[in-house]
Chain A
Amino acid sequence: MIAPGDDPLPALSPVDGRRIGQAELHDTLAARNLRLTPGDLLTVKVRRSEVPSGSEAYQEFQVPYQKWMRLLDALNWIADNAAADLAFRWFCGSKMCGTCAVRMNGREVLACWEAVEPNMVIEPLRNLPVIRDLVVDRTAYEDRVASLEPWIERREPYAEFPEPLTHKQMKDASNALDCISCMCCYSACPVIGLGNLTDFAGPAPLVQLGQTALDPRNDPEKVRRSLERTGIFNCVSCYKCEEVCPAHIPIVSRVIEPLKAKAAQLVPEMARHSFALRNIVAHRGRVDPGALVLSVQGLRALSNLRRIWRLFVRGKINPIKTLLGMKTDAAAAAGRLLGDETGKP
Chain B
Amino acid sequence: MRVVTTDVAVIGGGAAGCYAALSLSKRGIKPLIICKGLVGKSGASLFAGNLVISGRALGNSEDNARNTAEFLIKYHNQFLIDQNWARRCGQWIEQVYYPELEEAGLYFRRDDSGEIVTSPGKIRSIAANVQGNSGVPFMDLRRKQVIKAGIARMEETVATSLLQNPDGSVAGVFCLNYITGEYTAVIARAVILATGYSDRLHTRSTGTREMSADGIALAWRAGATLLNMEMQWWHTNDLAHPPSWQRMQIYPNPMLGSEKSARMLNSAGEEFFNQQQDDPLAFGPYTVQLKALVKQVRAGKARYEGGYFAGFDNCDPAEVETYTTYGKTFRQLGLPFPAHMAETAVSSHYRQGGIDVDTATMRSSVPGLYAAGGVGGHSNGLIGLATYDGHVAAEGVARDLATLKQASVPQTLIEAECRRLESLRNSYGNGPAPGRLKEDLRAVMWEKAGVEKNASDLRSALDDIERIRVELMPGMKIRNSGKSANYEWLDAIDVMNMIDVCELVIHSSLERKESRGPFIRTDFPLTDNDNWLAANVLTKSGNGLRFERRPYELPIFAPGFSTKDNLEVAW
Binding site for B on A (CB under 8 A): 1-5, 8, 10-13, 28-31, 33-34, 50, 66-70, 72-73, 76, 79-80, 83-85, 87-88, 90-99, 112-113, 131-133, 135, 138, 146, 149-152, 154, 158, 160-168, 170, 173-174, 177-181, 211-212, 215, 217-218
* CB pair A80 B436 closer than 8 Å: yes
Q: Which of B16-24, B65-73, B331-339 contacts A (4 or more CB under 8 A)?
A: B331-339
Task: From known contacts A162-B116, A177-B129, infer whether A91 and B42 are also in contact, taking CB-CB under 8 Å.
Answer: yes
Q: A162-B58, A162-B108, A168-B112 are in contact. Are A73 and B336 (CB under 8 A)?
A: no
Contact pattern, B 472-510, Cβ under 8 Å of A = 1, otherwise 0? 000000111010111110000000000000000000000
Q: Would you call B145 an interface residue if the criterion is a C-beta within 8 Å of the partner chain's C-beta atoms?
A: yes
Beyond known contacts A28-B334, A85-B486, A158-B102: 19 more, CB 8 A cutoff: A8-B340, A30-B333, A66-B242, A70-B244, A84-B488, A87-B486, A91-B41, A91-B209, A93-B208, A98-B41, A112-B244, A132-B484, A135-B485, A165-B114, A167-B109, A167-B110, A170-B107, A211-B137, A215-B107
The 9 closest A-B CB pairs, nearest first, are A30-B334, A10-B334, A152-B105, A85-B480, A132-B485, A84-B433, A158-B103, A4-B309, A161-B99
B341: Cβ under 8 A from any A Cβ: yes
* CB closest residue in chain A, given B238: A94
Alpha-carbon gap, A169 to B288, bound state (A) = 40
Give A11 to B147 CA distance when docked, in angstroms: 43
Contact with A along B330-370 (1 / 0, CB 8 A): 01111110011101000000000000000000000000000
Residues of A within 8 A of B247 (CB): 92-94
Query: Does chain A have a CB within 8 A of B144?
Result: yes
The reply to whether A29 and B244 form a contact with Cβ atoms under 8 Å apart is: no
Contact A1 B339 (CB under 8 A): yes
CA distance A69 to B328 in the complex (A): 16
Distance of B336 from chain A, by nearest CB (Å): 5
Contact of B179 among A112, A131, A166 (CB under 8 A): A131
Shortest Cβ distance from A126 into chain B, in angstroms?
Answer: 18
Q: Is the CB of B486 within 8 A of A160?
A: no
B558 touches A (CB below 8 Å): no
Q: Does B133 contact A (CB under 8 A)?
A: yes
Pick the most buried of B47, B58, B340, B436: most chain A CB atoms within 10 A of its CB: B340
Question: For A177, what are the chain B residues with a Cβ–Cβ distance below 8 Å?
Answer: 107, 129-130, 136-137, 140
Pick from A161, A167, A168: contact of B102, CB below 8 A.
A161
Is B439 close to A, CB under 8 A?
yes
Question: Whole-angstrom distance between the alpha carbons of A44 and B170 in the complex?
Answer: 48
Q: Interface residues of B: mostly helix, strand, loop or mixed?
A: loop
Minimum distance in angstroms from A34 CB to a CB of chain B:
8
- CB<8 Å pairs between A and B, sample of 20: A2-B313, A5-B309, A80-B436, A91-B38, A91-B43, A91-B208, A92-B42, A92-B209, A93-B244, A96-B133, A97-B37, A133-B485, A152-B105, A158-B99, A161-B102, A163-B102, A167-B110, A177-B130, A178-B129, A179-B140
Whether A73 pairs with B99 at a CB distance below 8 angstroms is: no
How far is it, in angstroms, between the C-alpha of A314 and the C-alpha of B116 when the chains are bound?
Answer: 61
| Alpha-carbon distance between A146 and B247 when the two chains are bound, in angstroms | 31
B561 to A: closest C-beta gap in Å: 37
- Chain A residues lying within 8 Å of B129, measured Cβ to Cβ, are 174, 177-178
Q: Is the CB of B46 within 8 A of A97?
A: yes
Query: Does any Cβ of A come within 8 Å of B148's Cβ?
Result: yes
Tell me, yes or no, whether B248 is within 8 Å of chain A by CB.
yes
Contact B136 A96 (CB under 8 A): yes
Q: Is the CB of B105 within 8 A of A3?
A: no
Instruction: Please judge, given known A-B contacts A79-B435, A132-B484, A135-B485, whether A178 and B133 are in contact too, CB under 8 Å.
Output: yes
Does B269 make an interface contact (CB < 8 A)?
Answer: yes
Q: Could you tell me the distance in whole angstroms from the C-beta of A154 to the nearest C-beta in chain B?
A: 8
Residue B113 lies at the interface, judged by CB distance under 8 Å to chain A: yes
B265 at the interface (CB under 8 A from A): yes
Query: Could you tell me the distance between the alpha carbons of A93 and B308 in the complex, rounded to whole angstroms?
Result: 22
B484–A131 CB distance below 8 A: yes
Contact of B111 with A by CB under 8 A:
yes
Contact A166 B113 (CB under 8 A): yes
Residue B300 at the chain A interface, CB threshold 8 Å: no
Cβ–Cβ contact A8 & B243, under 8 A: no
B92 at the interface (CB under 8 A from A): no
Q: Which residues of A contact B114 (CB under 8 A)?
A: 164-167
A33 to B480, CA, bound (A): 34
Proximity bits, B252-273, A CB within 8 Å = 1, else 0? 0000000000000101010000
Nearest-neighbour CB distance to chain A for B239, whole angstroms, equals: 8
Residue of B nearest to A97 (CB): B41
A76 touches B243 (CB 8 A): yes
Q: Given A69-B242, A91-B208, A93-B245, do A151 and B41 touch, yes or no (CB 8 Å)?
A: no
Please give, as numbers and ranges, the residues of chain A lying within 8 Å of B109 by CB-CB distance: 167
- Say yes or no: is B104 at the interface (Cβ < 8 Å to chain A): yes
Closest to B98 in A: A161
Residues of B within 8 A of A4 (CB): 265, 267, 269, 308-309, 341, 343
Question: In the complex, A30 Cα to B109 Cα: how many Å?
Answer: 32
Asked if B241 is an interface residue, CB under 8 A from chain A, the answer is yes
Contact A84 B209 (CB under 8 A): no
Cα(A52)–Cα(B320), bound, Å: 52
Interface residues in B106-139 by Cβ distance below 8 A to A read 107-114, 116, 129-130, 133, 135-137
Nearest B-chain residue to A154, judged by Cβ: B103
Q: Which of B135, B148, B209, B328 contacts A93 (CB 8 A)?
A: B209
Contacts of A164 in B (CB 8 A): 114
Cβ 8 A contact of A96, one of B46, B478, B484? B46
Taking CB atoms, residues of chain B closer than 8 Å to A69 are: 242
Q: List residues of chain A with CB within 8 A of the CB of B241.
A: 66-68
> Pick the contact of A11 from B130, B135, B336, B436 — CB < 8 Å?
B336
Min distance, Cβ B528 to any Cβ of chain A, angstroms: 37
Q: Which of A11, A97, A164 has the most CB of B within 10 A?
A: A97
Residue numbers in A under 8 Å from B333 (CB-CB):
29-30, 33, 68
Are A66 and B243 CB-contacts (below 8 A) given A94-B248, A99-B38, A132-B484? yes
Contact between chains at A1 and B313 (CB < 8 Å): yes
Report the minimal beta-carbon distance from B180 to chain A, rounded to whole angstroms: 8
Whole-angstrom distance between the Cβ of A97 and the nearest chain B Cβ:
5
CA distance A232 to B145 in the complex (A): 24
Taking the closest CB of chain A, its distance from the CB of B249, in whole angstroms, is: 9
Q: Is the CB of A80 within 8 A of B112?
A: no
> By the criterion CB–CB under 8 Å, are B145 and A151 in contact?
yes
Chain B residues with CB below 8 A from A85, complex form: 478-480, 486-488
* Chain A CB within 8 A of B57 CB: yes
**Quick one: which of B58, B105, B328, B487 contacts A217, CB cutoff 8 A?**
B105
Chain A positions within 8 Å of B41 at CB level = 91, 97-99, 181
Using an 8 Å CB-CB cutoff, how does the interface string of B516-558 with A read, 1 for contact, 0 for none? 0000000000000000000000000000000000000000000
If A2-B339, A31-B334, A96-B135 touch, whether A73 touches B47 (CB-CB below 8 Å) is no
- The residue that A72 contacts in the complex, of B57, B107, B244, B332, with Cβ under 8 A, is B244
Does B457 have its Cβ within 8 Å of any Cβ on chain A? no
Q: How far is the CA of A242 from the CA of B27 in the complex (A)?
A: 43
Residue among B98, B244, B267 with max Cβ neighbours from chain A (10 Å): B244
Say yes or no for B321: interface residue by CB 8 A criterion: no
**What's the nearest-Cβ distance from chain B to residue A271, in Å?**
27
Residues B99 and A160 in contact, CB atoms below 8 Å apart: yes
Chain A nearest CB, measured from B14 CB (Å): 11
The answer for the CA separation of A68 and B129 in the assembled complex, in Å, is 29
A297 to B464, CA, bound (A): 76
Query: With the chains together, A168 CA to B136 CA distance in Å?
Result: 21
Would A215 and B105 be within 8 Å (CB), given that A97-B37, A178-B133 are in contact?
A: yes
Contact B269 A80 (CB under 8 A): no
User: Which of A83, A95, A167 contacts B112 (CB under 8 A)?
Assistant: A167
B82 interfacial contact with A, CB 8 Å: no
Task: Enumerate chain B residues within 8 angstroms of A167, measured Cβ to Cβ.
Answer: 109-112, 114
